[in-house]
Amino acid sequence: MGGICYMLRCAGQRLATLYPGAVAAAGRTGTGIGSCRGIAAVPPLWPLPAPSSRAEAALPHRLLEAAGTVGRAGAPRQPQGSMATALLDGGVKETEFRPNQEERKRKQVSGENQQAGKRLKEEAEEQSKKRPKRKVVLLLAYSGKGYHGMQRNVGSSQFKTIEDELVKALVKAECIPENHGDDMRKMSFQRCARTDKGVSAAGQIVSLKLWLIDNLVDKINEHLPPGIKILGLKRVTGRFNSKNTCDARTYFYMLPTFAFAHKDHDSQDKGYRLSSEALSHVNRLLASYKGTHNFHNFTSGKGPRDPSAKRYIMEMYCEEPFVRQGMEFAVLKVKGQSFMMHQIRKMIGLVIAVVRGYAAESIMVRSWGEEKVDVPKAPGLGLVLDTVHFEKYNNRFGNDGVHEALEWHDIEEQIMGFKEDYIYPTIVKTEIEEQSMASWLSTLPIHDFSATASGDQLNENHSEKTSADLDEGSDGGDSD
């Protein structure tokens, strides 16, 4: 750059000698003969003397190049703005480059937008850091009809799940950052039970961290479909885990009472009514499940000597029947510490087989032994996660003055209302239209309830990984 300036000064002196009038004109306009623009503005209005050297001959082109009006290859530059020409004293024209106003404004706006976007992003990140998330539990109720279970399948949009709908609602309600929806571990999300395809829930509990915004429950529900609803929210301790902290789970199974009719009775008789004697018989068989038993025959992938096959049942009974759309139904309830895959449906299936006269009552005790017993599995329709229990947590933190006991007595009417509006009607409607129970009853004669195999003949060489996978997929009746 220094060489160019030196060259320009020399050129100015040379021009001052050759064209004193032009130099004076350039000085009066403020252009300055020592600048590239001023020199380039002086056209050859007078005959030029012969150049004294090769360098002097190349001087006009070098001046124009320095002024920016030609390129190094000699081609004219394409202007990116506009050219303004001013008439100097003495008839000398000055051509000045002025940037295009629209181009300059566009670049300015673009730069401002980029800076504004960057500021908004930084402010959002800073705001996210300033708004601490709190650990809470949500009481969730849903009708499982049309969903492939509770658990979300990240990266797969083929099968719609309950958690897919829940996460979308949490993001839209702005109680979690959007990126938490892609990685649920960021919000410490944990479900109490991973219910299977078609299984409903009236008291599912999920624990997670979120922002405690105003009217949080209402805002989440605004973005949920009608068959899914948040019924309650409570603060919990930072290390709370809904699955591991849960002491017990209660499920109910709703079925048409003709399932308990004798096998000689029409299995599709909508007019069947369960007698009090038959109800007592059913409850006696269900009560025999109470206590700790080996339920290896009530699931898959577990041998009779697998310690994890032993489960503790606290209670199991059948409630008084009721009539819906001309068909009588009954609700069976079972409470246990945890359940294996298909365990509840097989417990009910075996009782139905005994009541209908396909199997002797002795099969109940025999099924808990090491023998392999053929236990039928009742249909999935009708199974509902009713309540999850946190007795130990409530005893320790329920009255500490900071946290609440995880009990929902104050919203029992809402829970019952959801059952009446969404769960019961779905079960009744589907049973009437698809006749799932009637179809299943027709398969009971196929089972051989007298066939057994000794425990030594069973495959007890299940890998630890297989057992772990089954537990993960079925604890709390997750896959039942």
Asked about 196 being catalytic, the answer comes back as yes
Q: How far apart are CA 57 and CA 100, in angstroms?
A: 35
Burial of 193 (0-12, 13-18, 19+ CB in 10 A): buried
- Rounded CA-CA distance 150/253 in Å is 18
* C-alpha to C-alpha distances, 232 to 221, 225, 424, nearest whole angstrom: 11, 17, 21
Q: Tell me whether strands 228-235 and 134-142 are parallel, antiparallel or unpaired.
A: antiparallel
CA 199, 151, 337 angle in degrees (round to 5)? 65
Enumerate helices (H) and strands (E) in the chain, giving the number of each: 16, 12
Torsion of Cα atoms, 181 then 184 then 186 then 187, to 10°: 90
CA separation for the pair 145, 160 (Å, rounded): 11
Instruction: Exactly one of 182, 183, 196, 386 is catalytic; name it.
Output: 196
The C-alpha atoms of residue 355 and residue 263 are separated, in whole angstroms, by 9
C-alpha 20/C-alpha 14 separation (Å) is: 10
Beta strands 81-87 and 93-99: pairing type?
Answer: antiparallel
Distances (CA, A) of 460 to 311, 368, 466: 18, 16, 12
- CA-CA distance, 437 to 381, in Å (whole number)? 8
Cβ(213)–Cβ(231) under 8 Å? Answer: no
Vertex 434 angle, CA 254 and 419, to 5° = 35
Quote the tokens at residue 382: 């009708």
Q: Looking at the annotation, which residues are catalytic?
A: 196
